[in-house]
Structure 1
Amino acid sequence: MKQAPVRLATLLLLAGLLLLVIASFASLPLQWQALLSADALRSATEFVAGFAPPETAPAFLDKTFVALLETLAMSALGTGLAAIAGLMLALPASGRLGRSLRAVTRILLNATRSVPELVWAAMLLIAAGLGPFAGTLALAVHTSGVLGRLFADALENTPPLPEASLRINGASALAAFLYATLPQISPQLLSYTLYRWENNIRAAAVLGVVGAGGLGQMLKYHLSLFQMQQAATVIIAMLLLVAAVDALSFALRRWMMH
């Protein structure tokens, strides 16, 4: 079987990416010798050794578990709110409500997802105060932009024939969307939502650095006091939480495929 020839545009794109990588190495002051020196390796070894053994006092483990649940709740609630808002924004962003509204909604989605969660949290802390509420809102706002764009693209790529058939037979626009289009894209929407939930678990842990609660706030507190053993326990809790959510998400995606 004859293979399709590689397009000139593809070759130019690969050449451009290669030149960009070479230019990046040439322009950045990368100090590989200092990084791999004996002093750097010794300092890194001493720093890592300070984390052992992790803190295992029952009172501290209980406090870490509460922070873990707080981080999990922030990510789940933020992702759930974002999924609802993203679906609502995806309808006009997909062009179903007119071209002008599509352009405006796309700009809104670009703006919300262009600002990182950490920046959203820093701004929302002024209005909502310290704690997990600001972190939840930051995750919801940023993820709304991401999911709204993904959901809109999924709607645009959905075959229109099933919905058009229901409309021809007298169904309303809402009924045709709910019974024809939404069932087609619901596995894809759920897969996108689960993927963003995995990312938001990590983001929720980082948001604690600016005072948004959860494991991140504990980690910042103990690292600032050079309490490395307590910080090690918090880091292990983060790893366990991310691994558990990844496993749950993988199981749900496999269940959807069957």
Structure 2
Amino acid sequence: MPPRLFDARCRACWFTLGIVVLVVASFWSLDLQWAAFLSADALRSMGRFIGEFFPPDTSPEFLRKVAVASAETLAMSALGTLLAAAGGLLLALPGSRLHAADHARGRTPTRWLLNALRSIPELVWAALLLISAGLGPFAGTLALALHTTGVLGRLFAEAIENTPTGPGDALRASGVPTGRVFLYATLPQVLPQLLSYTLYRWENNIRAAAVLGVVGAGGLGQLLAFHMGLFHMGKTCTIVAAMLLLVAFVDSLSLVTRRLMTR
């Protein structure tokens, strides 16, 4: 006989029931006006709005501006991710327990710091940093670096803690210092996973960098906010297309890199 769908002694059943109740309550509490959203008037308005995007602006002068902004967005995402990878690794070491006998006294405060860094969205970081760094890509790069440091630091720490400790235990038993144990035993095992996490976050950061310009942090987002605010819909269409192409390029590059790493 198949098991019963719900068992009062099953914790997973109660957890699933709680999730279902939460989802139903969310739909019930929100004022989701599906009828108005799918009405003929709404669809006509949306079609008219989309029609205003065409034809896109393909003048050579504007395409040069979009190319420069695209390069700026790509540079922001790459540099922000690189800084975050370095900072995340530095924070992951005190934020993880390297072996069973490791007291890891800095683990809890470091985890709190990582939680604080990633709990603040990139847009909020950029808005705060604009006060000190000013308008432009510098604030956007720092915003990406700070938020991504919190994300990568936590991922790196979990990866380090889940690494098999056999090689490290053998080196420690031979009297090898902790730093060398990490370099020669732990890091070689976990490095492919760290690189994979970094590439994945780079994919996310290229999208975030394209949006950060909305608050004045440079790149395609700043160009988009300017022309969309002036209702230059043809130029807006060109910028959105550049964003899509840039994201597709980075996704493809990241995918090829990860495949080469696994060979």
* Normalised-by-shorter TM-score class: over 0.9
* Counterpart-to-counterpart distance in 2, 1:253 and 1:12: 39
Structure 1 stretch displaced more, 152-161 or 131-140: 152-161
* Counterpart-to-counterpart distance in 2, 1:14 and 1:56: 52
* Counterpart-to-counterpart distance in 2, 1:247 and 1:10: 38
Q: Which amino acid aligns with 1:199?
A: N
- What is the aligned counterpart of 1:18 among 17, 20, 24? 20
RMSD: 1.7
Match of 2:124 in 1: 119
Residues 93-172 of structure 1 mapped to structure 2, 5 A cutoff? 93-96=95-98, 98-172=103-177
Where does structure 1 lack aligned partners over 5 or more consecutive residues? Answer: none
- What is the aligned counterpart of 1:47 among 38, 46, 49? 49
Q: Which amino acid aligns with 1:75?
A: S
What's the secondary structure of 1:93's corresponding residue? coil
* Counterpart-to-counterpart distance in 2, 1:243 and 1:113: 25
Query: Is residue 213 of structure 1 aligned with residue 215 of structure 2?
Result: no
Where does structure 2 lack aligned partners over 5 or more consecutive residues? Answer: none
Please state how far the C-alpha of 1:167 moved relative to its aligned partner: 2.1
* Counterpart-to-counterpart distance in 2, 1:254 and 1:87: 23
Runs of 4+ with >6 A deviation: none
Match of 2:64 in 1: 62
Please state how far the C-alpha of 1:160 moved relative to its aligned partner: 1.1
Q: Using structure 1 for the length normalisation, give the TM-score.
A: 0.96
* Counterpart-to-counterpart distance in 1, 2:177 and 2:29: 59
Please state how far the C-alpha of 1:172 moved relative to its aligned partner: 2.2
* Counterpart-to-counterpart distance in 2, 1:146 and 1:49: 39
Conserved in 2, the CA contact under 8 Å of 1:78 and 1:139? yes
Please state how far the C-alpha of 1:9 moved relative to its aligned partner: 2.1
Please state how far the C-alpha of 1:170 moved relative to its aligned partner: 3.3
- What is the aligned counterpart of 1:80 among 62, 79, 82? 82
What's the secondary structure of 1:244's corresponding residue? helix
What's the secondary structure of 1:95's corresponding residue? coil
* Counterpart-to-counterpart distance in 1, 2:15 and 2:203: 31
* Counterpart-to-counterpart distance in 1, 2:196 and 2:171: 27
Please state how far the C-alpha of 1:37 moved relative to its aligned partner: 1.0
Query: Deviation string for 1:156-203 (max 9, x for gaps)?
Result: 111111011112223222111111100100010001000100000000
Match of 1:226 in 2: 231
What's the secondary structure of 1:40's corresponding residue? helix
- What is the aligned counterpart of 1:28 among 23, 27, 30? 30
Please state how far the C-alpha of 1:50 moved relative to its aligned partner: 0.4
Greater fraction of residues in helix: 1
Query: Is residue 249 of structure 1 aligned with residue 254 of structure 2?
Result: yes
Conserved in 2, the CA contact under 8 Å of 1:208 and 1:218? yes
Query: Is residue 190 of structure 1 aligned with residue 192 of structure 2?
Result: no
Q: Which amino acid aligns with 1:136?
A: T
* Counterpart-to-counterpart distance in 1, 2:97 and 2:106: 7
State how many pairs are aligned.
Answer: 256
* Counterpart-to-counterpart distance in 2, 1:162 and 1:210: 49
Q: Which amino acid aligns with 1:253?
A: R
Please state how far the C-alpha of 1:13 moved relative to its aligned partner: 1.8
* Counterpart-to-counterpart distance in 1, 2:197 and 2:12: 28
Q: Which amino acid aligns with 2:188?
A: P
Q: Which amino acid aligns with 1:73?
A: A
